[in-house]
């Protein structure tokens, strides 16, 4: 089904394919020892032209827990990119060594380009401010695991909705579910791009909807999921704007008093200041559970893309 396919943006997977992936992730979580040799002899290449902690390490952990091996670089400064090699040539080369490539690159569209010159599947681990589909699999898996259902929920996206690729990917993926209300909370300079809302919410008859605000407190009580994000410093053109906007929202225990008792706080991480560390002890804080589900989501994805048994 997914065998041999690349994953560039979230809608490359149908809702049914995502369901298969979630079921497999739960199966792996339940009996990890059954899977420990399932990818023996297979090689994963992780090519990270941009900083990462979770995405790269969770892919590597996922591959190793399936019995496979990893190679790659965490810093493009140590690759031939510094000598001027094109991305296409780097990908063609790595595709001669590895069975699957996971790439993060600051340029929007780079993952699609890589998939077109690769002889093996390419998984997009973030292309600039564009998409981050495996974070979306992580986010949806966490919602499904902790709530049981992804339909009929109100999701608040808060922070940098302009540059945040995890937001862009999750908004697209949620459009496939039913009864989803999205509330976009940001300063006006960091609003969700209109190309995205006009493509996702174009069908007036669909039962998904959105609204926009700059005030988190006003809508806190409506939310089932609060998706916090950091302001994406590396995508700003000038530092003054970043400094002015970086602390627009800071979630504290006091603000959490207005939230539903079963609201879930998600964050793709890294966190900077936008969630005060005092909130970590609140049972509604799910962002470290989310990190764990990210590894199971990636174990399931690698199993499906590479094939198993």
> If binding is defined by CB under 6 A, does position 165 make contact with ligand NCD?
yes
Catalytic residue among 65, 132, 145, 267: 132
Shortest approach of ligand NCD to residue 272 CB, angstroms?
9
Q: Which residues, 6 or more positions from 169, have their beta carbon under 8 angstroms from its beta carbon? A: 9, 10, 131, 132, 133, 135, 136
163 versus 177: smaller Cβ distance to ligand NCD: 163
Active site residue 132: yes
* Binder among 42, 65, 131, 132 for ligand NCD (CB under 6 A): 132
Beta strand 100-105 pairing with 43-48? parallel
> If binding is defined by CB under 6 A, does position 130 make contact with ligand NCD?
no
Q: DSSP per residue over 75-95, as a string?
A: -GGGSGGGGT--HHHHHHHHH
> If binding is defined by CB under 6 A, does position 129 make contact with ligand NCD?
no
Binding to ligand NCD by CB under 6 A, coded x per residue (else -) over 192-231, reads --------------------------------------x-
* Binder among 47, 269, 275, 304 for ligand NCD (CB under 6 A): 269
Q: Which residues, 6 or more positions from 193, have their beta carbon under 8 angstroms from its beta carbon? A: 162, 168
- CA-CA distance, 276 to 286, in Å (whole number)? 14
Closest residue to ligand NCD using C-beta atoms: 268
115 versus 134: smaller Cβ distance to ligand NCD: 134
Active site residue 3: no
Q: Where are the alpha helices (DSSP H) in 129-238?
A: 133-147, 165-174, 194-200, 216-219
Site for ligand NCD in 37-76 (CB under 6 A): 54-55
Stretch that binds ligand NCD, among 85-93, 206-214, 249-257, 264-272 (CB under 6 A): 264-272
106 versus 176: smaller Cβ distance to ligand NCD: 106
Catalytic residue among 42, 56, 104, 181: 104
Binding to ligand NCD by CB under 6 A, coded x per residue (else -) over 84-123, reads ----------------------------------------
Active site residue 54: yes
CA dihedral 38, 46, 196, 292 (to 10 degrees): 50
- CA-CA distance, 82 to 84, in Å (whole number)? 5
Shortest approach of ligand NCD to residue 38 CB, angstroms?
25
Is cis: bond before 277, omega within 30 of 0?
A: no
Among positive and negative, which fits the CA dihedral 217, 218, 224, 228?
Answer: negative
Q: Where are the alpha helices (DSSP H) in the chain?
A: 15-30, 54-65, 87-95, 110-117, 133-147, 165-174, 194-200, 216-219, 239-245, 253-256, 287-306
- CA-CA distance, 269 to 183, in Å (whole number)? 20
Q: Which residues are catalytic?
A: 54-55, 83, 104, 132
Positions in the binding site for ligand NCD (CB under 6 A):
54-55, 126, 132, 135, 165-166, 230, 268-270
């Amino acid at each position: 089904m997914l065998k041999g396919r690349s994953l560039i943006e979230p809608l490359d997977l149908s809702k049914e394919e995502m369901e298969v992936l979630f079921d497999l992730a739960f199966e792996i979580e339940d009996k990890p020892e059954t899977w420990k040799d399932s990818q023996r002899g297979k090689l994963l290449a992780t090519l990270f032209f941009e900083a990462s902690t979770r995405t790269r390490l969770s892919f590597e952990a996922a591959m190793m827990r399936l019995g496979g091996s990893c190679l790659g670089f965490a810093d493009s400064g140590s690759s031939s990119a510094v000598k001027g090699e094109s991305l296409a040539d780097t990908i063609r080369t790595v595709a001669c060594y590895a069975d699957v490539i996971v790439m993060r690159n600051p340029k929007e569209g780079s993952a699609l380009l890589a998939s077109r010159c690769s002889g093996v599947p390419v998984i997009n681990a973030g292309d600039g401010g564009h998409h981050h589909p495996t974070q979306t699999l992580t986010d949806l898996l966490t919602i499904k695991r902790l709530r049981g259902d992804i339909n009929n929920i109100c999701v608040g996206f808060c922070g940098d909705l302009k540059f945040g690729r995890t937001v862009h990917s999750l908004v697209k993926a949620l459009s496939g579910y039913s009864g989803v209300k999205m509330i976009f909370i940001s300063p006006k300079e960091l609003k969700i791009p209109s190309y995205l809302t006009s493509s996702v919410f174009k069908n007036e008859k669909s039962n998904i909807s959105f609204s926009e605000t700059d005030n988190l407190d006003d809508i806190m009580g409506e939310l089932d999921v609060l998706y916090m994000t950091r302001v994406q410093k590396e995508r700003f053109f000038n530092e003054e704007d970043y400094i002015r906007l970086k602390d627009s929202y800071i979630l504290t225990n006091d603000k959490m008093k207005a939230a539903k008792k079963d609201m879930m706080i998600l964050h793709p991480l890294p966190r900077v200041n936008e969630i005060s560390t005092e909130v970590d002890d609140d049972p509604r804080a799910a962002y470290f559970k989310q990190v764990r589900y990210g590894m199971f989501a990636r174990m399931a994805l690698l199993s499906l893309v590479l094939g198993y048994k």
